[in-house]
A and B are shown apart, each in its own frame.
Chain A
Amino acid sequence: MPVVELNLGRLQKLVGKNTNKKQILDILPFLGLDIESLGRNVVRVEYSPNRPDYSTDFGIALGLQGILGISKGMPRLKIRTKGNYEIKVDSSTSKIRPFVTGIVARNGSLDDEAVKQIINMQEDLHFGLGRKRKKSSIGIHDLDNISFPLKYTTTSRDHRFVPLNSTKESSISEILRDSEVGRDYGSILGQSSKVPIITDAKGQTISFPPIINAALTTVTTKTKNILVEVTGIDKQSAEDMLSVVVAILQGGGFQFSQLKVSGSRNSTPNFATRTVTFDAGPVNKILGLNISNSVLASCLKKSRLDAVVKNKKIQCTIPRYRFDIFGGMDIVEEVALGYGIDNLKPAWPASVHIGEKNPTSEKLDSTSRLMTGFGFMETLNSTLTSEQTLYEMTNRDSSQIISVTSSKSQEHTILRDSILPGLLENLSKNIHETYPQKFFESGIVFSKGSPIKETANLACVTASEETNFSEMKAILQSLLRIGFSIKCETKALPSHALFSQGRVAEIIINRKTVGYIGELDSKVLENFRIRTKVVGFEIKLSGLIFD
C-alpha cells in the first residue's frame, strides 16, 4: 500500500475547529489509514490504492472533517467558465496518446510542504491510476509563464527545448537517452517517429508528455496560479486523474477556471456528479444494522458524499473524484465508514454447519503422527527451490525442470519434483548437532503434464553411523502396514542418481512403482558435506492413500 507523510500541525490546521492531535491520530485508522510510523510532529500513513485523494494531507483533511462531523457532505466544486484558457488537439496525437484534459487553478499558495504533498500525489497517480504513466500522466505548470491557447500536437524526435531541472536545450532523442525519466518511461512512446507535445500560443514547448515538463513553466514556492494538464490513452482515465487533482487542489484553497479542450475526439471535462437511489433495507441487512433512512444519509455525508431521503429512499450523490465507487457494495462501505467501524458490534450467527477436515489433510496428519512415532522429526521446506539443491548437488536428471520467471531470490527458481534433496539440505545444515538425526517431510511435488501435475509425496532420512537399508525398509513397511494396511515390496534397482549402487530399490505396491528406497550415494553426501551414513526413501502418497 502507498504511504504519505503528514505534518500533524498542518493537518490539524487543515481540519480546523479545535481538533487536537490525539483526536486525529485516533480517528485516522477508521478512515482506512494505517499509521506506519509516528514522530514528534510527523505521521506516516498507509492509504488504499483506490483512494488517490488520500495521497495528500488536503485529501485526508476532507475525510477527517467528515468523520469528525466538522464538515459533512460533498465538497462543492466551483469552476469559472469565463476566461480564455483553451487547448486544441491536433489529430496527429490520436495514434500515440490521443487524449488531453486539464484545469486552471488560481490564487493558491504553494509552500514547501504543499509542494511536497503535490509531488506525492503526482507520483501516486502516475504509479497507480496512470499504470506507470502509460494510461495517463500529469503535468503541473506555472500558469503565469504560459500564453493561451495551447496546442496538443506531435513533433519529431529532433525537436529541442529546455527540459525541467535543466538550463540548456536538449532534443527529444537526447532526453529519452540521457535522462532518468527518459529511460524509465521512454518505452511508452514505442518506436513512433512522432511524439506528443504541448506548445503555447508563442510556440514555446511547455510539456513533453508523458516524460517531462519544460523548464519554462517550473512551479516554485512563489507560484500562485497553475495549469494542470493530463494526457492519456483513455479519455475516462485521464479525466479520473484530473478529478483527483482538482479535489486535492480544492482542499488546498485554489479557485478553478475551466480549460476548454477541443479537437480530435477530445472535449472539455465537466466533473459531473453521479446520483444513485436505493433502499435502506439491503444496506442494513448486509451490515447487520437497523438504522433509519436519515441516520443512513447522515453516515454517507460523513463519508463526504451527498445524501437525501426522498420517497422513503436514499438519494446519494457521488462527486466525480470518487470513481472508486462502482456500485451498491461500495455505498455500503461508505455507510459503514460514516457509521464508524468501531460502532459495529461483532455478532454471532446461528448456524447448523458441521465442519469437516479435507480427507487428504486427515491422512497426511495420520502419516505425520506415525512418522513422529517412529522417531522422525518433521521439517518444512519450500516447494519453490533451487537448481543447485534439486539437481546439481544430487546429480539428478533436470530435463523436466519447471521454472518460474524473474524470481527475486536465487534460492527460489524452480518447483521441486522430489522432497529428498531438501531433506539432505536439512541434514547438511545440522552437521554440528548430535546424531542420529531422523527427518521426514510430506508435501507437494510437481511434474509436467497438461500443463502441470501436483502430487503429495512423503520422504524421510536417517543419518547415523549405525543405520542401514533394513532399518529404513522396516520403517517404510511398518508405516504402510500400521497406517493403511498396505503391503509393499522392494525390488533391486541397477542404479539411481541419489543412492549407492547395489543398495537401492524401487518401492512396489500392486505391481506399480511408487517410490525409491536406499542408502544415499557417498558423492551426493559429500556434496552436502554430510559425514555420516544416510538411508532414506521417498514415496508418492497421491493415488495410494488418497486421490
Chain B
Amino acid sequence: MSHVLHDIEKQIVKVLQSGPNLIEEQISDITNLSMDQVRRGVEWLRQKKLAEVHESINISYSLGKNGLDSLKNGLPERRLVTLVQDGPKTFDEIRSSLHGLDFNAAIAHAKKNDWINIEKTDTGSKISIKEDPTRTREEDLIESIGEKTVPAGPTGILAQSALQSLLDRPDFIIEREVKTKKVYLTATGKKINLKKSDSNAIDVEADVPHVHAARIHPLNDTINEIRDTFVHLGFTEITGNLSQSSFWNFDALFTPQDHPARELQDTFYLKNLNAKQLATPTQIKNVSNAHKKGWRYYWDVQEAKKMVLRTHTTCVTIKHLADKKPDEARIFSLGRVFRNEKLSFKHLAEFNQVEGVVVGKHITLRDLMGIQKEFYRKIGLTKVKFWPTFFPYTEPSLQSMVYNEKLGKWIELFGMGIFRPEVTKPLGITKPVLAWGGGIERIAMLKFGLDDVREFYNNNLSWLRTATKCQ
C-alpha cells in the first residue's frame, strides 16, 4: 500500500515503527519537531487511519521545596536525631541548630519513628536517642523521586503509605494531573515502507484551513444580476432621489390625499421639510384637476409639497416620463424604498425595489407578460404564471407567481400593469405605459435560502464569509 506522507508524518511514523508507543511530548523530544507540528502530523495520520491516539490522564509526582531540601540535607526528623546522637540536648539547643526547620514536626515524626525519648529535667525538656534510627520509607521515596517527575501506578511509586505521609506534609511532594496523548500506529501504519515513498511527493489530499474572500455583499450580487438582466432585455437605467415630494410619490400617481397609504403610519415624512420646487405649473394644475374630477375633493398643494422617503421607485419613473414624454422607451429604476413598517422576518423599513417600464404605441399586455417571463428565465426562475390583482395606479393589474422548487410552492413576486389614463393623461403622456416590478430582497431570499429578510442587513461576518456566491 502506498501512502503519500508529509515529512512531519514520515518522521513520526519512523519513530513509532522503531520503538514503543509514545506520547506526543516524547515524539517531539526525539524528532525535534515542535509540539504544534507533532499535533498536526498525528492528526493527519489519524485521519488516514495510520495512527490512533489514546488519551489518558496520568498523575505524576515531583519534589516540592521542602522535599528538595530533604533530598540534600535529610528529612527534619533525621537531622534532629543526628543532633542528639552524641548525647541528650535541650529543646532550645536543638531549635537553634535546626535553622528554622519545623521543630514541632521534626519532634513529632522522630517520636512516631520511635527514635527519641523526651525527659523533663530542671533545666527544661531534654531529647535523647532511644534506639538506632533505621532508614525510613519516606527517605527512600524522596531519594527515588530525586529531581525527576515520576508517574503514579505500577511503574512508579509503590510505597503508598510513605507517599501519603509525605503528601500530608507541606511542600514535600507535588502531585500533578497530566493529560497525555499516546500515539499508536495501526496495523496499516506499521506496514508503511518509508523507504519506498517518494521523497518529492506531498500530501495533496490533506485538509487545509478556510480562507475568506473579500466580496460584494450577497444582496448586491442579486441587485447587480437584476440590473444586468434589465440591461440585457434592452432597458436603460434611470435614477432619482430617495427623498421625494408627495407630489411625485403620490399625487402624480393619482393617489388621493386622504388615501390610507399616505398616512403617517405607512409613509415616512421628513420632519418640517417641504419641497421648494414641485413640478411645472402645468403639471401641478393638471394633476390637481385630475384629482378633483376623479376623487371629488379639495386638492391641497401644501399636502403635495410634504417631503417623504419614496415608498416606491415609481415616482422616479413617472417624473422621467412626464419630463421626457417618450413615444418609445424601455427604462428601469432600481434602488432603496421606504415603508413605515414594524420590522419582522418579512418586513423591513428600508428595502430595494426595481421597476421597469415599456412605452410604445403597439405594446400589449401580453408583451409585458412575455418580457417578464424572459426576465425570470434569465434569473433562473422558469415556472411562471399570472394572476389578476390590484394596484392603485395601474389597470389592468397582474401579479406574477413563480414556482419555487425548494419550497415546493408558488410564490408571489413582481406586480405589473398598465398606467391608468388618470395618471398619464394629466402629465401629457399619450402612449401606453406598461410597468412591472417589485421587491428585490424577496428574490434574494429565495436565492440564498433565507427565511428572515433582516439577515441581509445584519452584516454578520460568518454569513458574509460563507454564503455561496453563485446561486
Contacts and interface: CB of A to CB of B under 8 A. Distances in A.
Given A333-B395, A346-B366, A356-B231, A378 B216 contact: yes
A349 B390 contact: no
A407 B268 CA distance: 7
Contact of B237 (A354, A358, A374): A358
A236 interface: yes
A347 B370 contact: yes
Contacts of A407: 268, 340, 349
A349 B460 contact: no
Nearest to B342: A408
A313 interface: no
Contacts, number: 246
B54 interface: no
Q: Which of A354, A360, A409 has the most CB of B within 10 A?
A: A409
A344 B365 contact: yes
B459 to A, nearest CB: 4
Contacts of A289: 366
B343 interface: yes
Contacts of B328: 353
A384 to B, nearest CB: 5
Given A409-B342, A429-B460, A356 B365 contact: no
Nearest to B365: A287
A375 B465 CA distance: 12
Contact of B233 (A355, A409, A451): A355
A357 B366 contact: no
A327 interface: yes
Given A345-B366, A406-B265, A378 B220 contact: yes
A158 interface: no
B10 interface: no
B234 to A, nearest CB: 4
Q: Which of B232, B386, B395 has the most CB of A within 10 A?
A: B395
A329 B425 CA distance: 12
Interface string A378-391: 11111110000000
Interface in B416-469: 418, 420-422, 432, 456-462, 464-465
B270 interface: yes
B456 A355 contact: no
Given A404-B271, A408-B341, A336 B365 contact: yes
A288 B232 CA distance: 24
Interface stretch (B25-33, B41-49, B174-182, B238-246): B238-246
Contacts of B385: 342
Q: Which of A327, A402, A405 has the most CB of B within 10 A?
A: A405
Contacts of B373: 346
B372 A452 contact: no
Contacts of B170: none
Given A383-B336, A407-B340, A374 B214 contact: yes
A32 B388 contact: yes
Given A355-B234, A451-B275, A329 B396 contact: yes
Interface in B195-209: none
A330 B264 CA distance: 30
B349 A412 contact: yes
A71 interface: no
A30 interface: yes
A522 interface: no
B273 interface: yes
Contacts of A383: 242, 336, 350
Given A372-B214, A404-B269, A409-B343, A32 B461 contact: no
B236 A328 contact: no
A454 B227 contact: no
A41 interface: no
A520 interface: no
Contact of B390 (A49, A356, A376, A378): A49
B370 A381 contact: no
A404 B309 contact: yes
A34 interface: yes
B17 interface: no
Q: Which of A50, A377, A402, A433 has the most CB of B within 10 A?
A: A377
Contacts of B264: 405-406
B363 A361 contact: no
A355 B243 contact: no
A477 to B, nearest CB: 19
B387 interface: yes
A337 B388 CA distance: 7
A240 to B, nearest CB: 10
Contacts of A429: 458-460
Contacts of B395: 329-330, 332-333
A439 B216 CA distance: 10
Nearest to A406: B264
A278 to B, nearest CB: 13
B242 A402 contact: no
B364 A347 contact: yes
A377 B349 contact: no
A32 B389 contact: yes
A29 B387 contact: yes
Contact of A409 (B217, B243, B349, B456): B349
B421 A379 contact: no
A381 B294 contact: no
A109 interface: no
A94 B171 CA distance: 104
A327 B213 CA distance: 57
A327 B412 CA distance: 28
B129 interface: no
Nearest to A327: B421
A368 B296 contact: no
Contacts of B459: 379-381, 426, 429-430, 439
B366 A288 contact: yes
A341 interface: yes
Contacts of B336: 383, 444
A353 B349 contact: no
Interface in B229-273: 230-239, 241-243, 258, 260, 264-265, 268-271, 273
Contacts of A345: 366, 369
Contacts of B271: 402-405
B389 A34 contact: yes
B219 interface: yes
Contact of B398 (A51, A330, A341, A355): A341
Interface in A28-53: 29-32, 34, 48-51
Contacts of B342: 408-409
Contacts of B397: 333
A336 B360 CA distance: 20
B367 interface: yes
Contacts of B219: 380
B296 A234 contact: yes
A384 B388 CA distance: 34
5 contacts: A347-B370, A368-B220, A377-B465, A380-B219, A406-B264
Given A332-B418, A347-B364, 9 more contacts: A286-B432, A342-B385, A347-B366, A348-B370, A353-B235, A377-B465, A378-B220, A382-B350, A430-B459
Interface of A: 1, 29-32, 34, 48-51, 127-128, 131, 134-135, 234, 236-237, 285-289, 326-330, 332-333, 336-337, 341-342, 344-349, 351, 353-358, 360-361, 365, 368-369, 371-384, 402-409, 411-412, 415, 426, 429-430, 433, 437-439, 444, 446, 450-452, 454
5 closest pairs, A vs B, by CB? A288-B364, A48-B390, A288-B366, A353-B234, A333-B396
